[in-house]
Structures are given as C-alpha cells and as structure tokens.
Structure 1
Amino acid sequence: MAAAAITTHPLPLPPSADPSYFHTFGTEVRGLDPGNLTPSQFKLVEDLLYKHSALLFRNADLSPEQQYTLTKAFDPSSESYGHGNNKTGGEKKSILHPDLKTIPRQPQVQLIGNGLVPEHEGLVNAQLKHPHHRTFHKTVVPPEDDLKYTRFYRWHIDAALYDLSPPKVTTLYALAVPQGEAQVCRYDDGTGDELPVPLGTTAFVSGKTMFDLLPPEMKSVAVRTTVKYAPHPYVWMAPAHALSTGLGLETEGLELPLNELPQWEEGKVKFLPMLWKNPVTGNLHFEVHPCGIQELLIAPLPKGASRDNDGASYPSGAHLTELKDVRDLVYKMQRPAIAPALVYPHDWNEKDLVIFHNRGVLHSVVGAFAEGQVRMFHQCNLAASDDPAGPSEEDIRKYA
C-alpha cells in the first residue's frame, strides 16, 4: 500500500485576520505521524517549522514520551524543561506556580488547562487552573461580562529568562477541549480594538511581522539593542500588574526588590538580543518578553552610518535603566503587531498538535472558563543548548 502523500495547507484563518500577513505564517501538515517520524520526515518538519513559525497536526496520537522525543529532536543536546525541572513548581512565589503540573514519568512534559482531573498519567486529583487576567492585570473585565469578554493574559516567549537559554520550540497537544460560546477579547487600551476568539484559544503573533512593521528609525534601534532581563523574572514580576493588552507591566514600583528574590548570580542574568535571527530563513524576529525586561542596552550607530538628519533614535547609543522608559519604548515597538488583524487565535480540537518556533513568535493564553469546564493539554519545551543568535553585522549595516 502506498504511503500517504505529505501535504501542507494554510491555517484556518478567522475572518478577523488579514491574509496578506499570513502568506508564510503557519501551515497545517497532513500525511505524517508526528509521534513516529523518520529522520528524513523530521528534517522536513524542522524546515517547515522555521519557514512557517507554527505547524498544525490534526488527530495526532502522542504519548508524553513521544512528545518529549519530538521536542528534543529540534535541539538534541537539550534536556531540562524550559523553566527548569520542578524548579517552577517548588518556587511558590513564581507567577507560573499555579499553572503547571509535571507528568511524573516524563518531567519535561507539563499538564496545563482548567478544572479537576481525577486521574491522568500518574497524577491524581490534579486541579488545573487556567490563568485569568483578573489575577494579573491592573484593570479587569467587569464580573457580569466575564464569560462573554476576555483578554490576552500575558504575551510571552516560553523561557526561564534566567540561567537557562530560551527553548527553540514548544509543542502543545490538546487532550480535552471544552465546548462553549466564542468570546470577545478586549484590548481596553483606548483604541477600541477587539478580537472574536474561540473559547480557550491560544493566540499567536509573528515576531517577523513585529519587526517588519517598525518604521526605519525603530528598526535601527531594534537591530542595535540588547535586552537585560530581571533575575528570576517570574518571581520578580509576581506582585506587579499587567497592562490591559497583556503586553507588559504597569510601572508602579511593585516588583519584588532584588534582595528579596531567591538567591541569584550576576553571571546567570540573561542579556539577549532584541531581534533573534531565524537559522533557516535568515529573517529577523522581534522576540522580547515584555514582562521580564529590566534594562535596554542600545549600541551606537555603526561606523560610517550617517548621524545627521536621518531620524535615527539614540545615534550615540544608550543604556536605559528606568523601568518606565524601558517599557514604554518596547510597548511602542510591539503593540502594532498585536492588532486584531495580525493575531492568529487557534481554534483547538482534541488531538490537535501545534509545534511553534518559540524563537519566532509571541503567544498568549486567552479566555475565561465557567465552573466545570475541563481543558487538558500537554505542553513541552526544553531549555536550549545555546542562546539565540542576534542580527549579523550585515543586518546592522542594513537597518541601522
């Protein structure tokens, strides 16, 4: 019997999405079993991922062991879960603490979702908690509108952002998807922006589009900037409040003082480029976790670049240390790319597997669940064997 043909198909874009921004972003792959890929099939999947940023497989059968093996194949020397094995669960102050339950026999795979799960893969009576914006945002959707309207909880990259390197890929596998009415995601930032979303969606935006949208003077800043993240950023940010768009934090002085954080070392603080270079396409992706940023280091314009009347910001470079200045600049650069027409909100079905290039997209939890609605997903990402590459000298000359 002949093997099924391997084909790719555009993602099912919602009416809100502008197709012109999704020519290369996302693709559905058919004719492959992602839990049992041959080496040549894996190379095809890897190539597709770096070219499209997100891959969808429908009706996948995937054990925790297979999901770990698949995730690890993208970075064979990686081993630890992206936030450190069991470290997040043991650190009660971390904002991630309630969201993750580790699969005992495969600790790199996490059970996430909502509701009580009596028994699953060695876990008993696991109480899952879908993150809700009222626990993190400064302002909230009124209770009477809670199940009709929702918000982006937190736009982010899956990464510890301290000590460990950001994972190259994340795999998300849907085991139980609650059925219910669609919701409207409100931005509540004065723009009037809203986005219809399926219940319990995961929202994605392209880091490449985020960079491509920038005006030339902001591209010049992005290509020259290094981001310094706070030590133990999820503990540091836990007392703070997020903006209504989920795109970073309000500056209220609520972050945990550095001397009250778990023990940390200066040498493990992460300095990462603002732009991460795609290893296959060479494209630059704007990849900043806006909640974890602490400082920005902007290099001066390169030798030979005109400093006169070209509109370049920070021509002599800068070191921004005031949180409000840092956040305001990053927000100004990132906000255009989360406009409703640029967001892909995936409408999950059971046994959907989404593999996304964690160094090429930002994503957010969205949605609010009624009591009794159970959502179960397996999530896996692995701290990478290296930090992401930034812009090349040629990129800097081109854009700076």
Structure 2
Amino acid sequence: MSSSSSAMLHTSPLRRYALLASNPPASTSYSTRAMAIELATLPLPASADASKFADFGREVKGVNLGSLTEEQLKEIQELLYKHDVLLFRDADVTPEQQFALTKAFDPTSAVYGHGNNKTGKTTLSILHPDLKTIPRVPQVQLIGNGMVYNHEGLAEAKLKHPHHKTFHKTHISDEDEEKGATRFYRWHIDAALYDLSPPKVTTLYGLSVPRGGKQVCRYDDGTGDELEVPLGTTAFVSGRTMFEILPPELKSLAVRSKVRYAPHPYVWMAPAHAKSTGLGIENEGLEMSFDDLPPWEQSKVKTFPILWKNPVTGGLHFQVHPCGVSELIVDPLPADAKKTGNELYPDGAHIKDLGAVRDILYKMQRPAIAPNLVYPHDWHEKDMVLFHNRGVLHTVVGAFKEDQVRAFHQCNLAASDDPIGPSEEDIKKWA
C-alpha cells in the first residue's frame, strides 16, 4: 500500500476529501490559497415566480473545487442543503476530484447510485443507453450526445441524449420538433430504488456544451402549459415547494404516506410509456410482470416516506420518483387529530391498484412542475452543478442532432442510509 493510501485510511472524512482532491494528474495545478466563498442568486428565466425561488439555488464564487479547505467544504455542504442547487462556473475538475467531492457529502459511500458498472450491463434497464462508465473511476459516468473519442480511458463512446419518443406514449411531430418544440423526458430522483439507498447529492459537470437556439417545452396535457428552455437544459423543481403548495387535505395525505417501489423498477417500467409531461407512467398495463424480472429479493424492495426531511433546515421535501412506484401505503390519522371531514383515507389504506396510485401521485406532484416553478439551467462549458438529490426532482429536456456533441460527467453515490421521513411533530402539524 502506498503512503498516500495508508494516510487515506487513518484520516477524517473531510481530510480524506482534501487528500483525494490534492492528488490530481501532474498536468493540472491548483492554488492552495483559501478563498472566501461568495454567493449570487441563480439567473432565473422570466417565466419563474421569483417568490418561490427566494431560497432555491445559488451560484458559488471564490472557491477552487480542486482544493477546498475543510471549512469551505463544510460551508458548501450546508449551503447545498439550504439552497438545493449550487452552481460553480469555470470549474476545472478531474473525475477523481468529482468523485471525492461527491463522496464528501457521505464519506462511507463508495459505489455509484445504481452500482458500479451495473447499469451499463443491465441491458433490459431503461437507463442502459444513457450511461458510460469512466474506467478508472467507475463512480463517474459519461453522459451526453454524439461520438466522443479518447476520453478519460474510453477509446470511443457513442452517447445518446434521451429523447421523449423512446419513452412517452405520445410524440411531438417531426415538423414541430424541427421548429423547436420539445418535452421534459422523465422527472426523477437519481436512485436505484431497489437494494441501494438514494444518493444524497449528485454532481453534474459540463465538458462540451453545444450552443443553439431556445426550445419550447410543451406539456401537451390539455393545460396549454409551455416553457421556453435553453437547448439541452436540465430542469429542476423543488420538493419543498412541491409539498408547500399542496392544499391541506393533500398535505395530510403526504405526511402520512409511504410509497413502495417495484423490484428492479427501471427494468419493470421499460416496456411502458410515460405521460406527456414526463411525470409518471400511463396506465396501459405494459409493465413487466414481477415474475419475469431478473431475480429479486423482497428484503431489497424499497419503501420510502413521501416526504423526506432536510438535515439542515428540518423542512420536508416531496420526493417521489413517480415512474417506479407500485404501491401507496397510508397511515391513519393520529388519534388526537382534529377532523374537518375533508381528510383522505382517515383510517389509513394500502393501495395496490396501480392506476389509482399513479392518479393520486400525479394530482399531488403535477402542480409543482408548472412553468413558473421550474428552473431550467442554461449550461455553459465547465459548469459544475451540485444538487440535493433528496430535495429536488429533475429531468433531461430537449433534443440534439447527431452532430451536436455534448459530454458531461455525472456522479452520485448510493447512500449509507435511507432518507428520514416526517417526525411525530411534523405529523401532528400537517395531518
């Protein structure tokens, strides 16, 4: 074992980050001078309701992500949980440093959120075409569009930006797409949702970012909702806002409910089609039978509260990946709850009818993806975005032509624990 590896085993988690980040390839140099962190609000589009984004998202200035001090790292961790999305412009970050930064939020985590080298080999998974693993750092994935050559140990990689026509039940016409119409692909949380625990943070680093005109994201759900977006944006919505804007009877339902995910949910959902908003699956009965899935164990099936508690603010975030849910479990109202007559499932329920489960979740989640509540990030090369994966939902958006090369590094790590749900005080307050 090398001296640096030995040192890694006998140091604090924060110091471990410093050791990882301070050993980049010899061709890269870093300043060791500590700089003061500065914050700026994110550039919201005209479509956004600024009042709903008062605490959401910050651009962080005055730091070098390759050589953070322990104090800076602690501050960034707290800022992420407070603001949910952090943007660092003009970042120079190696795959090793990106892995180290991601790991610093959960120091005992070690594998990619879907398992190292697992997703690419699971050809039945709906995620299979989207991810290419960096060979020497299997926790970091290469995603994007077009052909990439001689990249971080990959001789060549054919990347494909997810397109709604491969997943949605209905499609935008080729003519409308040529004019710039597009859709949200799939609103989700980065998580395996089976066996492994949902990552706490995802880091997303833009290496090659094609420029182009704006596109118009259509909801195509009868509402007439549309959102102008930058080409190839990543769109975010706040799980905190998703909960806060619910009427009282749905807040009560959310605080008392858990969702159960299907085994191997990305294989299970692969034959099915998504809604035009990208927020869940249409009820066509096309999901794979549990009996036909790869081998699975009941003990590894994930059941999570609908609301996840923020470790810094104590707030509740509505965190459900609607595409993978198979059951809804509702606890009864507390014995001392004051009933108004509007409560849903006051005696509790275990809902296994898939159509009913999806309808309930859609009613709860759809208001939060309204155009004025979406932050569509306008990517530039060397943007590093950190997002609180247990506090936001996000989606790929847009369509690229084959010759538009886009290359990003993505890293998230299966967490060392499962999310924490509402406390007894939360339940008393909201039920």
Give TM-score scaled by structure 1 length.
0.99
Q: Which residue, 352, 364, 378 being the options, matches 2:395?
A: 364
Structure 1 residues 82-97: aligned runs within 5 Å: 82-97=113-128
1:327 maps to which residue? 358
Q: Tell me the CA shift for residue 3 of structure 1.
A: 5.4
2:281 maps to which residue? 249
Q: Tell me the CA shift for residue 145 of structure 1.
A: 1.6
Q: CA–CA distance in 2 between the matches of 1:38 and 1:236? A: 44
1:98 maps to which residue? 129
Q: CA–CA distance in 2 between the matches of 1:216 and 1:77? A: 39
1:123 aligns with 2:154: yes
Q: CA–CA distance in 1 between the matches of 2:272 and 2:409? A: 28
Q: CA–CA distance in 2 between the matches of 1:220 and 1:122? A: 51
Match of 1:170, SS? strand
Structure 1 residues 101-180: aligned runs within 5 Å: 101-147=132-178, 148-180=180-212
Q: Deviations over 1:30-83 (max 9, x none)?
A: 001122211111000000000000000000000000000000000000001000
Q: Tell me the CA shift for residue 6 of structure 1.
A: 1.8
Aligned length: 399
In the alignment, is the contact (CA less than 8 A) between 2:209 and 2:406 conserved in 1?
yes
Q: Deviations over 1:119-174 (max 9, x none)?
A: 10011120001000000000000011224111000000000000000000000000
Match of 1:337, SS? helix
Q: CA–CA distance in 2 between the matches of 1:113 and 1:199? A: 13
Aligned-partner residue type, residue 371 of structure 2: P
Give TM-score scaled by structure 2 length.
0.92
Match of 1:263, SS? coil
Identity %: 70
Q: Which residue, 20, 24, 27 being the options, matches 2:58?
A: 27
Match of 1:131, SS? coil
Match of 2:76, SS? helix
Q: Tell me the CA shift for residue 370 of structure 1.
A: 1.4
Q: CA–CA distance in 2 between the matches of 1:137 and 1:382? A: 28
Q: CA–CA distance in 2 between the matches of 1:35 and 1:228? A: 39
1:204 aligns with 2:236: yes
Q: CA–CA distance in 2 between the matches of 1:210 and 1:331? A: 12
Q: CA–CA distance in 1 between the matches of 2:118 and 2:57? A: 32
1:294 maps to which residue? 326
Q: CA–CA distance in 1 between the matches of 2:121 and 2:400? A: 26
Q: CA–CA distance in 1 between the matches of 2:261 and 2:72? A: 37
Runs of 4+ in 1 over 4 A off after TM superposition: 1-4
Match of 2:103, SS? helix
Q: Which residue, 351, 358, 369 being the options, matches 1:338?
A: 369
Structure 1 residues 368-387: aligned runs within 5 Å: 368-387=399-418
Q: Deviations over 1:334-371 (max 9, x none)?
A: 00000000000000000000000000000000000012
1:260 maps to which residue? 292
In the alignment, is the contact (CA less than 8 A) between 2:56 and 2:84 conserved in 1?
yes
In the alignment, is the contact (CA less than 8 A) between 2:113 and 2:191 conserved in 1?
yes
Structure 2 segments unaligned to the other structure (5+ residues) = 1-30
1:399 aligns with 2:430: yes
Match of 1:331, SS? helix
